[in-house]
Structure 1
Amino acid sequence: MGCKMQRRMALRRKLHILRTLTKSKSVRKSSIIMDAFLYIYKLKLQVEAIKREYQYLINHIQEVKVEKLGTGYLIVTVTCKKGEELLVSILEAFEKLNLNVVQTRVPCKHFFGMEAIVEANNIHEATLKEAILQVIQNHAEKYT
């Protein structure tokens, strides 16, 4: 008899927790379970929407920033979709423009990112930015 009572109390406690988590106004056990099912389904839809947005951002992100760093140096920041040999292509573009790379950092977890400090040999920031954007565009066309 005591075991049956303990199970009933445990079930009530669990239903109360479920009702609280799902913010259900229902009183009946079947209604609380159905509300919990709907709540889980809505959460699943929200997760799928977030995944779609994340994929869109990864596939369409493209940013190039070129800023002056003191006298004679530029900081180049590139963020775009991952691609094969993109780093090599960008470094070749630096070489064509006769720029010396002093330091670079390249994180590539979900997207390609690069921060480089280059010596500015009488080159304008807009010219460098345009050259890097052209490399990224050519690279995207080549591997698409």
Structure 2
Amino acid sequence: MGSRERKKAAAAANSSHHNSKEFRASTSSSAVVNVESVERGFLINVFLERNSPGLLVRILEAFEKLGLGVLDADISCSDCFQLQAVGEENEGRKIIKAQVVKNAVKQAIKEWSESDGQA
């Protein structure tokens, strides 16, 4: 993904998916994960209503297993956990679908929750 495409994806993410108030309003006490395909990559939003030490590492490990690189990310971990990222498929890997990325993130959250004893 070139610089122009990256900026375009980040701008689209900021305008339509990075409105924190809108994103929070649609959540419940469980994690909310949204993944959308963009040209050669994904817009990824994750929200959890509580502070979640160690969760970011789990999610980044899931991205790595998929061969997904993070081009841009906004992360908040103070009172709640919120990740908004633009990810790109690494060269030479098979094409990933948005649902596969979403499932991998949900699995990472589940494993984090179980390992920390937080159901």
Would you say same fold, with TM above 0.5?
yes
Cα offset, 1:106, TM superposition: 0.2
5+ residue gaps, structure 1, are 1-56
Which residue number in structure 1 is paired with residue 115 of structure 2?
142
User: Which SS does the other structure have where 2:86 is aligned?
Assistant: strand
| Rg comparison, structure with higher value | 1
- Name which of 106, 109, 133 aligns with 2:78: 109
TM-score, with normalisation over the residues of structure 1? 0.55
Identical-residue share of aligned pairs (%): 33
Q: Deviations over 1:24-75 (max 9, x none)?
A: xxxxxxxxxxxxxxxxxxxxxxxxxxxxxxxxx77x2310000122x11210
Give the counterpart letter for 1:141 in structure 2.
E
When the two chains are superposed, the root-mean-square deviation of aligned CA atoms in Å is 1.7
Q: When you count helix as a share of all residues, which structure comes out higher? A: 1
Structure 1 segments, 4+ long, off by >4 Å, are: none
CA distance in 2, matches of 1:110, 1:124: 31
User: Which amino acid is 1:131 matched to?
Assistant: A
Greater RCO, 1 or 2 (C-alpha within 8 Å, sep 6+): 2
Q: Report the counterpart of residue 87 of structure 1 in structure 2.
A: 56
In the alignment, the residues of structure 2 paired with residue 132 and residue 82 of structure 1 have an alpha-carbon distance, to the nearest angstrom, of 17
Letter aligned with residue 123 of structure 1: I
Pairs within 5 Å for 1:36-47: none
Residues 109/84 of structure 1: CA separation in 2 closer, same or farther (3 Å cut): closer
CA distance in 2, matches of 1:109, 1:90: 17
Q: 1:124, CA displacement in angstroms?
A: 0.4
Q: How many pairs were matched up?
A: 86
Deviation at 1:82, TM superposition (A): 2.4
